[in-house]
Amino acid sequence: MLKSFRKLQRGDTLIEVIFAITIFSSVAITSLSIMNQGSATSERALEITLVRAQIDSQTKVLQFLNASYSAAFQSGDTYASFTGSGEVNTPAGQWATMMTAVEGTSGDTVLELFGSGTNETCPDAPADSFIIDTHNVKFLNTAADFAPAKDVPSYSQLAYTSSGGTDSLGSNSVQGIWIQAIRSATTGTTGYVDFHIDACWASPGQSAPVTIGTIVRLYEPR
Which pLDDT tens digit goes with each residue over 141-197? 988 999 998 888 889 999 999 887 788 888 899 999 999 998 887 666 778 999 999
Structure-model confidence comparison of residues 13 and 128, the more confident one: 128
180 burial level (CB within 10 Å; 0-12, 13-18, 19+)? buried
- 22 in a structural domain: no
Domain count of the chain?
Answer: 1
- What does the alpha-carbon distance between residue 135 and residue 61 come to, in Å, rounded to a whole number? 10
The strand pairing partners of 174, in sequence order, are 146, 158
- 35 in a structural domain: no
Q: Which domain, by its residues, includes 213?
A: 104-221
Structure-model confidence comparison of residues 88 and 128, the more confident one: 128
Residues 6+ apart with CB under 8 A from 222: 79, 186, 188, 189, 190, 191
- 56 in a structural domain: no
- 47 in a structural domain: no
- 137 in a structural domain: yes
Q: Is pLDDT at 117 greater than 70 in this prediction?
A: no
- What does the alpha-carbon distance between residue 13 and residue 15 come to, in Å, rounded to a whole number? 5
Query: Once rounded to an integer, what is the mean pLDDT over residues 111-130?
Result: 75
Query: Once rounded to an integer, what is the mean pLDDT over residues 106-113?
Result: 66
pLDDT in tens, 84-107: 556 778 898 899 889 888 876 655
| pLDDT in the model for residue 9 | 58
- 127 in a structural domain: yes
Residues 6+ apart with CB under 8 A from 217: 192, 193, 194, 195
Query: What crossing angle do the helices spanning 91-103 and 14-74 adopt, rounded to 10°?
Result: 110
- 5 in a structural domain: no
pLDDT in tens, 17-56: 787 788 877 777 776 676 666 666 777 888 999 999 999 9
| pLDDT in the model for residue 207 | 79
Q: Is pLDDT at 59 greater than 90 in this prediction?
A: yes
Q: Is pLDDT at 7 greater than 80 in this prediction?
A: no
pLDDT category, 203, cuts 50, 70, 90?
confident
pLDDT category, 78, cuts 50, 70, 90?
low
pLDDT category, 77, cuts 50, 70, 90?
low
- 183 in a structural domain: yes
Length of the chain: 222
